[in-house]
Chains A and B, each alone.
Chain A
């Protein structure tokens, strides 16, 4: 979606410290040139296809459809990307742009670690130095992703400031960029931040919706009636929705994280229920969760990838215009939706994507049988094994962990003696 000089209605813009002005302008121009350069686009498509496995399938879910007895349910399988999530689409695009700008290092923020891993993967492949900022709490919660980032050669910096989550990681990444802008690129993971990041990330993610257009025509001869996506920062939602923006009969539903309840600090609902308020921070104007004094607040979701305090200015604008309907799903509904997909279709969804499932499952029984809905399965759930086991109160998991720990310690002791 083309911005109006970096703005989407009253949201977006570029509110950055003066020190970043030149680097921001450089990205703006490099992106404009690159997207009009057939050689760049060809390399992008080639890397998407041969490194990340695109196009990803559009999977019809017969069992789920029969189960609900309403709309025909399809999943866009972003979980089948290299790295297991849609994050790959964007990091490939930006990393190729980094090569084009002649920079040698990338910085990224990460919450759950999915964007961090995706960035570390492409950095390893393209020979870029890579530093990932991650809230100290998230480092603890998502250690398997930290392990892989380190194995891939990235430096992972735990951020012990503030709430020690994604928002603090983003602040710290901006600070790094302020001193390293001459040789480093800030590879932001979602459709947020100063212009042109929202537009650029949405551009790279729009491959999702473009493929759905072709696949839906091929599979059932028309576009879907409704699209569903979870909304954290907003990149997978932008990716699915934006190519359909002009198709007025296609309805779009964004699902935010309801967390444990609607009190401030218990959820990440920025756009539904009037819980967020307009603010300007972290480089852009959007709806933020904040107090009356303009201090950004803590958030919660069972899905670490959705607990961001702000939201894409593109989504904020389209929600305000009524083009996208916003709703939310609570933690327990999300786990139930995840469980249902496992049992009915043999697919393990990420908890982030399970929000989109939960939102769609509420509507599906009430929709006409001939209607078709596409849910963006933005990522796979392997990474959530610990959280899902806990949420499902699985009794056997602690025993496995204890046995594993005992064995691991024996192994380390024996290594020490050898």
Chain B
């Protein structure tokens, strides 16, 4: 069993749903982003999904795009430094796990094999690259398998059934289930109702033994509660960043506690 899946299974013994909080590395500055991650871990976040910024984040909506561009505006961010920084964070908070999210190009420039090795060294157990589909990822999959790092595949409500079954079977650490169409954050797209989300998650559950994470559009306590018993991890990104932008760590923490600690 993968380290990540085992961690989730053990933690789920105590909690009905785990939290994965998303933070953009380097936004508004490297130190502030690391402080914010530490604050969330203090508050009991089970995972931090660290996004290494890319100039062209096509799967993200306005909130995260602005943060990525803000992070890249007047500083040069290095993948190596990011791995070192978040590796340290993981050692400071051994009860939690760190997953790295980015787009392919900065990781490709760094070197995929080196990336996976360094992730393993820093105990970063999950790797999320939304613009690298399974079919194009043969090299990355091999490196991950050799180093005990889990590549995290995404499925969506419009993924064809046979493909969904395939990706669900291939999932190891956890499967990232996108809750609706569109990009991250607030969306005017009405991506279906609770019933269709339930059916979608049931379908996925029937194909996989890996844990299930659900993200995209989770903003309220009701959204998190509705996932209990149907998924293992609730992934919260843009809503948390919106709160952070509005009132700093204090406002962000208020939202986190409301969603997961109340």
At the interface with chain A, which of B118-126, B130-138, B141-149, B218-226? B130-138
Residues of A within 8 A of B65 (CB): 161, 171
| Known contacts A15-B132, A21-B159, A293-B78; A171/B154 CB under 8 A | no
A135 within 8 A of B: no
Give complex CA distance A19, B78 in Å.
29
A82 within 8 A of B: no
At the interface with chain B, which of A229-237, A278-286, A329-337, A397-405? A278-286
| Distance (whole angstroms) from the CB of B78 to the closest CB of chain A | 6
| Distance (whole angstroms) from the CB of A275 to the closest CB of chain B | 15
Residue in A14, A167, A292 whose CB lies within 8 Å of B133: A14
A376 within 8 A of B: no
> Is the CB–CB distance between B136 and A14 below 8 Å?
yes
At the interface with chain A, which of B3-11, B17-25, B175-183? B175-183
> Is the CB–CB distance between A181 and B109 below 8 Å?
no
Give complex CA distance A295, B163 in Å.
32
Residues of B within 8 A of A290 (CB): 105, 109
Interface positions, chain B 192-206, Cβ under 8 Å from A, are none
| Known contacts A17-B154, A18-B130, A175-B58; A295/B106 CB under 8 A | yes
| Distance (whole angstroms) from the CB of A338 to the closest CB of chain B | 32
Residue-wise interface mask of A (264-304) relative to B, using a CB-CB cutoff of 8 A (1 in contact, 0 not)? 00000000000001011111000010111111110000000
| Known contacts A178-B182, A178-B183; A18/B104 CB under 8 A | no
Residues of A within 8 A of B103 (CB): 281
| Distance (whole angstroms) from the CB of B206 to the closest CB of chain A | 19
| Known contacts A18-B133, A175-B183, A290-B105; A161/B159 CB under 8 A | no
Interface positions, chain B 160-181, Cβ under 8 Å from A, are 160, 163, 178, 181
B72 within 8 A of A: yes
Residues of B within 8 A of A282 (CB): 56, 58
Residues of A within 8 A of B160 (CB): 21-22
B28 within 8 A of A: no
- Among residues of A, the one whose C-beta sits closest to the C-beta of B167 is A18
Residues of B within 8 A of A188 (CB): none
> Is the CB–CB distance between B105 and A281 below 8 Å?
yes
> Is the CB–CB distance between A178 and B59 below 8 Å?
yes
Interface positions, chain B 56-89, Cβ under 8 Å from A, are 56-62, 65-66, 69, 72, 76-79
Give complex CA distance A182, B130 in Å.
20
**Highest count of chain B CB atoms <10 Å: which of A18, A21, A282, A294:** A18
- Among residues of A, the one whose C-beta sits closest to the C-beta of B182 is A179
- Among residues of A, the one whose C-beta sits closest to the C-beta of B76 is A293
Give complex CA distance A364, B56 in Å.
41
A347 within 8 A of B: no
| Known contacts A15-B131, A179-B187, A294-B110; A171/B104 CB under 8 A | no
Give complex CA distance A294, B133 in Å.
19
| Known contacts A15-B104, A17-B130, A281-B103; A182/B136 CB under 8 A | no
| Distance (whole angstroms) from the CB of B156 to the closest CB of chain A | 5
> Is the CB–CB distance between A280 and B108 below 8 Å?
yes
> Is the CB–CB distance between A19 and B181 below 8 Å?
yes
> Is the CB–CB distance between B108 and A18 below 8 Å?
no
Residues of A within 8 A of B55 (CB): 162, 295-297
> Is the CB–CB distance between A294 and B54 below 8 Å?
yes
- Among residues of A, the one whose C-beta sits closest to the C-beta of B77 is A293
Give complex CA distance A292, B181 in Å.
33
B255 within 8 A of A: no
Residues of B within 8 A of A178 (CB): 58-59, 181-183
A13 within 8 A of B: yes
A174 within 8 A of B: yes
- Ranked nearest first, the 5 interchain pairs of A and B with the lowest CB-CB distance are A294-B109, A179-B182, A294-B106, A17-B59, A179-B189
5 A-B contact pairs sorted by A residue (CB < 8 Å): A13-B136, A18-B159, A178-B181, A293-B77, A294-B107
Sample of 8 more A-B contacts, CB < 8 Å, known A19-B178, A175-B183, A295-B106: A16-B133, A17-B154, A18-B133, A171-B57, A178-B58, A179-B182, A295-B55, A296-B55
